[in-house]
Structure 1
Amino acid sequence: MASLQSFNFESQIPAELLIARIMQIHASISKLDSLRPSEQVNSLLSHLVKLCTLPSSIDISGLPQEVQEMRDSLINLCGHAEGLLELEFATFMIKTPQPLNNLNLFPYYGNYVELANLEYRIRNENGVVQPKKVAFVGSGPLPLTSFIMTTHHMILTHFDNFDIDEASNDVARQIVVSDAELEKRMKFETSDIMKVKEKLSEYDCIFLAALVGLNKEEKLKILDHLMKYMKKGGVLLVRSANGARAFLYPVVEEHDLLGFELLSIFHPTNDVINSVVLVRKPAF
């Protein structure tokens, strides 16, 4: 059987081989007693990410039912593992004197920086330069995007971070409290975004994290809810996935964004996992 090293970014891994490898990893992850960070968990997930970022022409929509079910399960497992990794790191960080100076110690920090730079450029190109007030939906215990955006790209913007889990918000607040200036511009709200209504009209820009709405039905309900309540003329940045990266995160396609005006869709081909979809709610 061909090894991973046989494939580089100039050749494509055959879909059959890719699926077989991913199913093997899914089987291994499913047998684990815990998804907390460990040598075994980290190794399996790193291998999975490398596989999913190899060039391939795989069409997720055409996969057999068995593979679709495995993909749904894998997205849930990876999302859970990602949350545990962030929580462990954030809990470690709040014990350090200046946690915001140590963000770069997070294993995937470089990917977040690349993604934030990409999202900033895409918004800039579409006239969304310095929004006054931004919401990040699904911020988690370690809201790296919010931290990077507020300190590097949106130095005057107020950020409201929404997460359904109070424990995650509590840890995130403890990181922010270390910086008096940032604390003034960043708040955390524990809410199911489907229950947040009128408040959504306050934001010039809303970020929707990739793992908010793990299946298509949930994602469509959330998008419809945001469309209904967000500000007219406001922009929504949706994180999606394309090709083999869709084994890691849910996919949002153009036809899922009913009522919105499509501004940009970008699918990365480097180490960045998430696709970036930028849409606007019509002003009239």
Structure 2
Amino acid sequence: MASPQNFSFESQISTELLIARIMQLHESISKLGSLRPSKQVNSLFTHLVKLCTLPSSIDIMALPQDVQIMRKSLIDLSGRAEGYLELEFSTFLSKVPQPLNNLNLFPYYENYVKLANMEYEILNENGVVQPKNVAFVGSGPMPLTSIIMATHHMKSAHFDNFDIDEKANEVASRIVASDAELEKRMKFVTCNIMHVREELGDYDCIFLAALVGMSSEEKVKILGHVRKYMKQGGILLVRSAKGARAFLYPVVEENDLVGFEVLSIFHPTNDVINSVVLVRKPTLYC
């Protein structure tokens, strides 16, 4: 996929021009009759992603109110489009022989590989080497992070994937069921994570997908709930966004992480979208 016209990846785009172009794209996306994958939908979102990964000095918190409202709308539209794209591909893959050998057909597969490699490296650097039990909250119909982690990095870990969408879990479990060994280590649970309590204490490491908790208030509630029930000394990896990437995903601020020990915050500068925030629930000593 090419970068937006007239800009190389190395050049910095001005805040004014960036906002103007993103607002134009938001207007075009808002007028779409459907967010399901199509030539037009794919083209608009490809352009948006490339625009949001250009180097810029934009300060998301300083944006005027009308741009903040547009940003929230764009995050919602992008999230819905991403859900449709994942569902279409996972449904297709669940019907072909050896679907796990064809994951690279998904348009953003390489991006997920890079993100998983980055996250595993950050976990390793902070002493999380081979966790036994892992939870992924908001796994969706294409649980690529769980699959990549389970097959390449955490080869003995058990993964529980939580999602509120039954259809998403259904197609995801069909893909995983094509591999007997992986199926033994991977479970799919349909529920709202706010209804999961004591079970959260079973996990050494919990991943929180970027689109779990779309507003800041909702994200803080979820973070507080997970912190309350997860084990002392347990690790939580939260996906966030910085700069123009925050037009695609919600931002997790440090002050949203009350009660956690912040271990690492990493903001990518390549084509990976999500920032990684690694925190730990402190161990209380008597």
Instruction: Say whether 1:192 aligns with 2:179.
Output: no
Partner of 1:170: 170
Q: RMSD of the alignment, in Å?
A: 0.9
CA deviation vs aligned residue, 1:240-267 (integer Å, no higher than 9, x gap) = 0000000000000111100100100000
Structure 1: distance between partners of 2:92 and 2:172: 12
Structure 1: distance between partners of 2:75 and 2:217: 15
Instruction: Say whether 1:206 aligns with 2:206.
Output: yes
| Structural mapping, 1:264-275, within 5 Å | 264-275=264-275
TM normalised by structure 2 equals: 0.97
CA drift of 1:57 comes to 0.3
Structure 2: distance between partners of 1:275 and 1:177: 31
Structure 1: distance between partners of 2:142 and 2:11: 36
Structure 2: distance between partners of 1:39 and 1:211: 24
CA drift of 1:140 comes to 0.3
CA deviation vs aligned residue, 1:105-138 (integer Å, no higher than 9, x gap) = 1100000000000000000000000000000000
Residues 4, 47 of structure 2: 8 Å contact kept: no
Partner of 2:262: 262
Instruction: Say whether 1:18 aligns with 2:15.
Output: no
Structure 2: distance between partners of 1:172 and 1:6: 40
The amino acid of 1:248's aligned partner reads L
Question: Which ranges of 4 or more aligned residues in structure 1 deviate by more than 6 Å?
Answer: none
Structure 2: distance between partners of 1:74 and 1:67: 10
CA deviation vs aligned residue, 1:77-121 (integer Å, no higher than 9, x gap) = 000000000000000001111001100111000000000000000
**When the two structures are aligned, how many residues end up with a matched partner?**
282
Q: Which runs of 5+ in 1 are unaligned?
A: none
Partner of 2:35: 35
Structure 1: distance between partners of 2:9 and 2:94: 39
The amino acid of 1:76's aligned partner reads D
CA drift of 1:41 comes to 0.3
| Structural mapping, 1:110-189, within 5 Å | 110-189=110-189
Residues 10, 54 of structure 2: 8 Å contact kept: no
| Identical positions, percent | 77
TM normalised by structure 1 equals: 0.98
CA deviation vs aligned residue, 1:165-193 (integer Å, no higher than 9, x gap) = 11110111111111100010000000100
Structure 2: distance between partners of 1:60 and 1:97: 45
